[in-house]
Amino acid sequence: MLKIGDKAPDFKLFNSEKKEVSLSDYKGKNVVVLFFPMAFTSVCTTELCTMRDDIAYYSGLNAEVLAISVDSPFTLAKFKEDQRLNFPLLSDFNKGTSKSYDAYYDEFVMGMKGVAKRSAFVVDKEGIIRYAEVLDSAGNLPNFEAIKQTLNSLN
């Protein structure tokens, strides 16, 4: 289980524009890494639209937002377009990143296997985890206030 003070596992994933993105691309910035179970579901839509609507706040704290699910880049592109999301959506289709962050359901609803757990991590400019929240219930949202407080403390 990852905890505060651990080095955040780096990753290379394709975004919804089919370009490779890695966590190390963001060195020197604080990053909010969100894992979400599935595009087009109600709670995931609420979560990501909450981030969308608050993006100026995060930008003001020198923070980038990256959202990761096991959906394909094509599904994520449609979801991003439909919801007008203003931050990268990354495809962990092969599930390695979700596993490395301990943000992974072996078994999800309707017999689906290998879905990202709703989780939030704040990674500082040096790549160290400063906030970690992995939710067991996909129906819960991350603690957005705690994420903001953590980012405020880093500036």
Q: Phi and psi of 44, rounded to 5°?
A: -65, -40
**Confidence class for position 112, pLDDT limits 50, 70, 90:** low
44 is catalytic: yes
Residue 106's nearest CA partner among 70, 142, 141, 75 is: 70
Q: Which residue of the set 32, 38, 44, 115 is catalytic? A: 44
pLDDT above 90: percentage of residues in the chain:
86
Query: What's the pLDDT tens digit per position in 20-30?
Result: 999 999 999 99
Task: Write down all domains in the chain, each with its CATH number in brackets.
Answer: 28-154 (3.40.30.10)
Are 34 and 149 contacting, i.e. CB atoms less than 8 angstroms apart? no
How buried is 20 (Cβ within 10 angstroms: 0-12 exposed, 13-18 middle, 19+ buried)? Answer: exposed
Query: What's the pLDDT tens digit per position in 123-137?
Result: 999 999 999 999 988
Read off the pTM.
0.94
The secondary structure of residue 71, as a DSSP letter, is S
